[in-house]
């Protein structure tokens, strides 16, 4: 693991300390890594959705309605691990 030095504002440090104190996380490093992981997942979801929208705008999707497209994209994202299963499927 690579060691980094990160400066945070006092309100953010208070928030980090509260998360550790509540035992939600064992330390600040775990919080930072979780936040980064979530952001990376969010970016991947955005890229997948953007690609589906661009494909749809290009006319490659056909006569499907928006709900059909969203469900297909969500299913694909759950299958490839970029979208957690929310139990809606």
Q: For residue range 7-46, what is the model confidence (pLDDT) as tens digits?
A: 999 999 999 999 999 999 999 999 999 999 999 999 999 9
Q: Give the tokens for residue 40.
A: 């990376």
Domain assignment of residue 22, yes or no = yes
Which stretches of 58-83 are DSSP H helices?
66-79
Q: What is the pLDDT of residue 69?
A: 83
> Does residue 72 lie within any of the structural domains?
yes
Report the percent of the chain where pLDDT is more than 70: 90
Residue 75 lies in a domain: yes
Residue 36 lies in a domain: yes
pTM as predicted: 0.61
Q: Containing domain of residue 43, as a range?
A: 10-79
54 lies in some domain? yes
Alpha carbon 3 to its chain centroid, in Å, reads 24
């Amino acid at each position: 693991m690579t060691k980094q030095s990160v400066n945070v504002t006092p309100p953010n440090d208070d928030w980090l300390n509260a998360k550790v104190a509540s035992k939600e996380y064992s330390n600040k490093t775990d919080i930072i890594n979780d936040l980064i992981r979530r952001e990376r997942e969010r970016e991947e979801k955005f890229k997948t959705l953007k690609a589906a929208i661009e494909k749809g705008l290009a006319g490659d999707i056909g006569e499907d309605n928006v709900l059909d497209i969203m469900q297909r994209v969500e299913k694909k994202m759950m299958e490839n691990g970029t979208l957690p299963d929310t139990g809606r499927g």
